[in-house]
Amino acid sequence: MTVVSLEHAVAAPFCTRQLADLGARVIKVERPGSGDFARGYDQRVLGQSSHFTWINRSKESLALDLKQPLARDALMQLLGTADVLVQNLAPGAAARMGLSYEALHAGFPRLIVCDISGYGADGPYRDKKAYDLLIQSEAGFLSITGTPESPSKAGISVADIAAGMYAYTNILSALLLRGRTGEGSHIDVSMLEALGEWMGYPMYYAHEGAPPPPRTGASHASIYPYGPFVAGDGGTVMLGLQNEREWQAFCDKVLQKPELAKDLRFDSNAHRNQNREALQTEILRIFGTLTAEQVVQRLDVAGIANAHVNDMAGLWAHPQLDARGRWRTVQTPQGDVPALLPPGLNSAFDYRMDAVPSVGEHTAQILASLGWSASQIGALQSGHVVAD
C-alpha cells in the first residue's frame, strides 16, 4: 500500500508510522527547507527532535511548496498511485487545495481519504485551532487528572495519540472495505471525539449529574488501596487491589494484620474508599518499618499486583523489554538510535524499522518515479518549488 500524508506535529505522523511499521510505503509531504515543524520541537536526539524521531521512521520525505501549481500537479500525479491520503493541516486547508474527499473521489475512486482535525468537519467548533492540551481541556481530561488542588495535563500527547490510533484503525478497516467494494471512502477523525471515547468511564461515573471522579494524583479515583505508597527507606511502591479476596490476602500476608480485613471501616471497597485517610495511616505505619523491596516481596507472596515507579532511565533499562528482545536500531540523519518494536508480535512477519528521513530526502527519486525528467526536477529545485 502507498500512503501519501500531508502531516505535521503528532496525530497524523503517529497514524502513518503505524502503517509504515506494517510495511506500507508512506510518503510524507513537507515544506521545502523547514519541513514538518515538529522537527524543531527540541534537539534531544543527536541534535534532532524527540517527537520527530519517535514517529517518522520508515517514511520517505517529499518536499513540495504546495502553493505552487507545479507542486500541486506533482501531488495530484502522486495521488494517482496512492491507496490512502492522510492529512492534519489547519481546518479547511486541504479542501482549499482541492484535496477534499469530494473533490478527489471522481478522479481517484479507490483512494481512501483520512482527515484528522481537532473537532471534525462540521459543527460550531469546526474552524477552531486545536492543540493537544486544548483538547485535553475540552474533553474533561484535566478535570480528573492531577491533585485536588491542581489539575494536570498528561505527560504525553494523549489527545494526538488517541486521534492517530483511531485514524490508523479506521484506515485498516477502510482498506478491508475497499477490498469488498472496490471503492475508497472518507474518514473524518476528531481529536475531541477520540479522547472523548477514552473518557467513557468518568463520563458514566458522572451519569445524570452524579459527582464526577475526584482528582486523586497517582491513586485510583474509586478503588482503594490502589496507588503509590512510600516505604521506610523512602522508596515508593505502586500497588492495586481489585477484589475482596485480594483485600483479605493484603491484610494477612502484607500488613500481617488479618483482623483489619473485618474492620467495618474497610470491609468493602466502598467503605475503604470512604475511609481512605484512616486506611492510608495503617498502611504507611506498617510499610514504614520495611524497605520498598521487602514490601514488593510481601505483595508478590500475597499475589497482589505491584510495580516499580520508574523514570525514563528505568524504562530504557527495563529488564522485561530487554528479555523479550524489544529493541532495534534505527538510522536518523545524525546517527543511529535505539527504538522499540511496535506493540504486538506476529508470527507471520517482522515489522519494518527503517530510517528517519531528512527534509526532502526522497523528492528527486519520487518525482523521477512519476516520469519527471532530470531537467524538470532541476528546474523545480532551482525555483524552490521542491527541495534540493
What pLDDT is stored for residue 145 in this prediction? 94
Question: For the residues 365-374, what does the mean pLDDT come to?
Answer: 93
- List, for residues 215-229, the tens digit of each pLDDT value: 988 898 889 999 999
**Per-residue pLDDT tens over the stretch 39-59:** 999 999 999 999 999 999 999
Structure confidence at residue 210 (pLDDT): 93
Backbone phi, psi, residue 387, to 5°: -75, 150
- CA 275, distance to chain mean position in Å, is 36
Q: Which runs of consecutive H residues, i.e. helices, occur in the chain? A: 11-21, 50-55, 69-79, 93-96, 101-105, 132-138, 141-144, 158-181, 191-198, 200-205, 244-249, 269-274, 276-287, 292-302, 312-316, 319-323, 363-369, 374-382
Give the chain's domains with CATH numbers: 2-199+322-382 (3.40.50.10540), 226-309 (3.30.1540.10)
Average pLDDT over residues 290-310: 95
> Largest Cα–Cα distance of the chain, in whole Å?
86
Taking residues 230-244, report their average pLDDT. Answer: 95
Asked if 125 contacts 95 with a C-beta cutoff of 8 angstroms, the reply is no
Task: Tell me the mean pLDDT in the region 298-310.
Answer: 94
Is 383 a residue whose pLDDT tops 80?
no
pLDDT tier at 388 (50, 70, 90 boundaries)? low
Query: Pseudo-torsion of CA 368, 371, 376, 382, nearest 10°?
Result: -30
Question: Is a pLDDT exceeding 90 seen at residue 234?
Answer: yes
Cβ contact 35:61 at 8 Å: yes
CA 103 centroid distance within chain: 30
* Residue that has been written with the C-alpha cell 519541513 in this structure: 35
Give the mean model confidence (pLDDT) for residues 161-169.
98
Q: Average pLDDT in the 175-201 region?
A: 97
d(Cα 8, Cα 356) in Å, to the nearest integer? Answer: 14
**The pLDDT value given to residue 45:** 97
Percent of the chain with pLDDT over 90: 93
Kindly report, residue by residue over 19-44, the tens digit of the pLDDT: 999 999 999 999 999 999 999 999 99
- The grid cell for 80 is 494517482
pLDDT of residue 62: 97
Task: Report the C-alpha gap between 310 and 306 in whole angstroms.
Answer: 12
Can you say whether residue 111 is alpha, beta or left, with left for phi > 0 and alpha for psi between -120 and 50 degrees?
Answer: beta
Those residues whose C-beta lies under 8 Å from the C-beta of residue 186, and which sit 6 or more positions away, are 101, 105, 112, 113, 114, 115
What is the grid cell recorded at 373?
525528467
Average pLDDT over residues 270-276: 95
pLDDT band (50, 70, 90) for residue 381: confident
pLDDT of residue 302: 97
CA pair distance 201, 50, nearest whole angstrom = 32
Kindly state the percentage of the chain with pLDDT values over 70: 99
Buried b (16+ CB within 10 A) or exposed e, 16-42: bbbbbbbebbbbbbbbbeebbebbeee
Per-residue pLDDT, averaged over 262-282, amounts to: 95
Query: Quick one: pLDDT at residue 206?
Result: 94
Residue 386's pLDDT band (cuts 50, 70, 90): confident
Average pLDDT, the chain: 95
The one catalytic residue among 51, 105, 186, 220: 220
Quick check: helix, strand or coil at residue 29? strand
Give the pLDDT score at 387.
Answer: 65
CB 97 within 8 A of CB 159: no
On the question of pLDDT at 384 being above 80, the answer is no
**Long-range contacts of the stretch 335-341 (C-beta < 8 A, 24+):** 335/46, 337/45, 337/46, 337/53, 339/57
Model pLDDT for residues 329-361, shown as the tens digit of each residue:
999 999 999 999 999 999 999 999 999 999 999
Residue 220 catalytic?
yes
